[in-house]
A = this chain, B = another copy of it.
């Protein structure tokens, strides 16, 4: 499992976990059918509580990205390449709409936003 969590971040730990794992799934870095590490082991690796990992896994389940089977583990769901792209764009767009409303509130034009993006991306 390749995840980095920040205790100083303003985002809750379970959300950091959810975002990073879902990104890895949708980038194809985690194969369909692959089993995520048991929540105890993940919790130990990351130095967080079992509950925190469980919460992140629950979010993944709710988004349809994994299938949880009690007593066996949590498995990456089956996706076509197209599905992954579609879901990825949905998730990014949802976030982007919220982001842009903030930029708009400061009166920034599309060109200004793109200009700033070119500097920092």
Q: Report which A residues bind B (CB closer than 8 A).
A: 19-20, 23, 26-27, 88-89, 91-93, 95-97, 99-100, 102-108, 110, 113-114, 116-118, 120-121
Oligomer: number of copies: 2
Enumerate 26 A-B pairs (CB-CB under 8 Å) in ascending A order: A19-B102, A19-B105, A23-B106, A26-B106, A27-B106, A88-B106, A91-B106, A92-B102, A92-B106, A92-B108, A93-B116, A95-B99, A95-B102, A96-B103, A96-B113, A96-B120, A97-B120, A100-B117, A100-B121, A104-B121, A110-B117, A110-B118, A110-B121, A113-B117, A114-B114, A114-B117
- Are B121 and A113 interface neighbours, CB within 8 A? yes
Known interface pairs A19-B102, A99-B99; A27-B117 also in contact (CB < 8 Å):
no
* Other contacts beyond A27-B107, A95-B99, A113-B117: 11, CB < 8 A: A19-B102, A23-B105, A26-B106, A91-B106, A92-B116, A96-B117, A97-B120, A100-B117, A110-B118, A113-B121, A117-B117
